[in-house]
Amino acid sequence: MKSNWLLSAALAATALTFVASPAAAATKFEFWYGLSGDLSERIQDMCKTFNASQSDYEIVCVSQDNYDNNLQNTIAAFRANKQPTVTQIFDAGTLDLMLSDAYVPVRQLMDENGYKIDWSNYFSGIASYYSTSEGELLSMPFNSSTAVIYYNTDALAKVGFDGTPTTWTQVEDVARKMKAAGYDCPVAFDPSGAWQWFEQFEAIHNQPIATLGNGFGGLNAEMAVSKGKFVDQLTWIKKMYDEGLFVHKSKDAGETANDAFVNGKCQITSSSIADHGTFGKQAKEGVHWTVAMLPMLEGFERTNSFVGGASLWTLKGKSAEEYKGAAAFYNFLAQPEQAEWWSTVTGYIPVTNSGFEAMKAKGFYDAAPYKGRELAIESLTKPAGENTRGIRLGGYASIRAEMVKTIQSVLFNNVPVPQALADFDAKGNEILRRFEATYAGKSLL
């Protein structure tokens, strides 16, 4: 009797599965991403909107917590043939992926699935970062940002500075006066912010991080930091640090640079434009602030800054149906209203000219809390230089970590700047040569 009961229960369960299946007839495909917290919630909203907008595909969006984890997990999944269809990869992992045989170029994907996308509509600085040197776009631009500098306006007013400093000389002047006026921490400085303090400095001054246009010309590029203007800049940073005008703030020290800024303890900080929204929400009562493009050295013409953030890659080894779904998803992302929504709720910039123009026309950037975000786009769309296309260097995560160590050794252990940067170049070259050997015989078009 009992076994009969079990049998019928099993049959009922099977029947239910069959009944339920037609509703799931839509092609499912996975999208893995590296954002968490509030940004992850927004991506989930985006996925729901996409799924509700049509009935042919169902995107399943999975957070892997951060960019590093997402890259590691995607690689592990790919090697086990369990990869998602779409994955979000940040700058430092781009070159490995480009050289691998693991992806379908986005332009090809969209062409094959019958979507007409105006690729020239994407900001050139963003498109070039994710393209081959011949201009073939490989991944879908998604969450883009760039570095900017934030000022406490009350502190600026107190030292009698009108507007915002545009050169580092002015920053030094302002910082010195702030110190004299009783501000303990004029500028918050975190050496682990190599992205804003080093890479973006090189970009807007058109200085080479490596030869061959930062590696765009080939895998045989060599580091060139110790021969450029960053020697002077780091020497200056060291001077500012020793005088207590730049104050060390980091997670390890108990307070990050950004926290020190929004709490009103430090008056100047440099960070991503993506933090613009966060600052608006977190700034303490009575802390007034504004944002500006990164300052320049005297006598330099500003070139475009590097794009930060990540892009979406379509991985090989999936079915034609899943690729159709991915293409439909990219097409959905490219819609102006979707781009505008994403840019509004996160602080990332719109990635297309038309998206930006539409938002500008609507008056989005005219008033708080969004006023100032347009400066990131201005910074990204300055004239390009030989060294401003992006960074295409192998093992870049390791090279970036070496730069953090280099800055720390100069600040904390008084290693002379020329020696520290010469060591950095040597170390970077070792990493590059190793990378070149790993991909022997491969080259990017």
Partner 1 sequence: MERRAYYKNPVLPWLLIAPQLLLVAIFFYWPTSQALYWAFTLEQPWGGGNSWVWFDNFLAIFRDREYWGTVLRSGIYALITTGLSMSVALTLAAFVDRSLKGTKLFQSIYVWPYAIAAPAAGVAFRFIFAPESGLVGSINDIWPGIWDPSTNGIQALVMVMICHAWLGIGYNFIFFLAALQMIPRSISEAGAMDGARPFRRMLDLQLPLIAPTAFFLFIMNIISSFTDSFGLIDTMTEGGPIGQTEVMVYKIYFDGFKGLDYSGAAAQSIVLMLLVIGLTFIQFKWVERRVHYH
- CA–CA distance, 300 with 253 (Å, rounded to integer): 35
* Of positions 77, 297, 404, 422, contacts partner 1 by CB under 8 A: 404
Sign of CA dihedral 323, 43, 290, 149: negative
Specify whether the CB–CB gap between 428 and 199 falls below 8 A.
Answer: no
Measured from the CB atom, the residue of 198 and 342 that comes closer to partner 1 is 198
Q: Does 177 bind partner 1 (CB under 8 A)?
A: no
**How many positions of this chain bind partner 1 (CB under 8 A)?**
40
**Which of these, 300, 313, 291, lies nearest to 205 by C-alpha position?**
300
Binding mask 255-284 for partner 1 (x = CB under 8 A): x-----------------------------
Measured from the CB atom, the residue of 102 and 155 that comes closer to partner 1 is 102
Specify whether the CB–CB gap between 377 and 388 falls below 8 A.
Answer: no
Q: How far is the CB of 94 from partner 1 (least distance, A)?
A: 12
Measured from the CB atom, the residue of 15 and 76 that comes closer to partner 1 is 76
Q: Does 75 bind partner 1 (CB under 8 A)?
A: yes
Q: Does 100 bind partner 1 (CB under 8 A)?
A: yes
Sign of CA dihedral 396, 397, 398, 402: positive
Distances (CA, A) of 293 to 20, 164, 182, 385: 55, 9, 26, 17
Q: How far is the CB of 179 from partner 1 (least distance, A)?
A: 16
* Of positions 208, 309, 395, 428, contacts partner 1 by CB under 8 A: 395
**Which of these, 114, 88, 83, 122, lies nearest to 101 by C-alpha position?**
83
**Which of these, 100, 47, 399, lies nearest to 222 by C-alpha position?**
399
Cβ density class 36-65: b for 16+ within 10 Å, e for less: eeebbebbeebbeebbeeeeebbbebbbbe
* Of positions 218, 397, 422, 429, contacts partner 1 by CB under 8 A: 397
* Of positions 38, 416, 437, 443, contacts partner 1 by CB under 8 A: 437
Measured from the CB atom, the residue of 89 and 327 that comes closer to partner 1 is 89
Distances (CA, A) of 196 to 307, 383, 412: 11, 19, 20
Q: Does 252 bind partner 1 (CB under 8 A)?
A: yes
What does the binding site for partner 1 look like in residue numbers (CB under 8 A)?
68, 71-72, 75, 78-79, 93, 96-97, 99-102, 191-192, 248, 250, 252-255, 395, 397-398, 401, 404-405, 408-409, 411-413, 430-431, 434, 437-440, 442
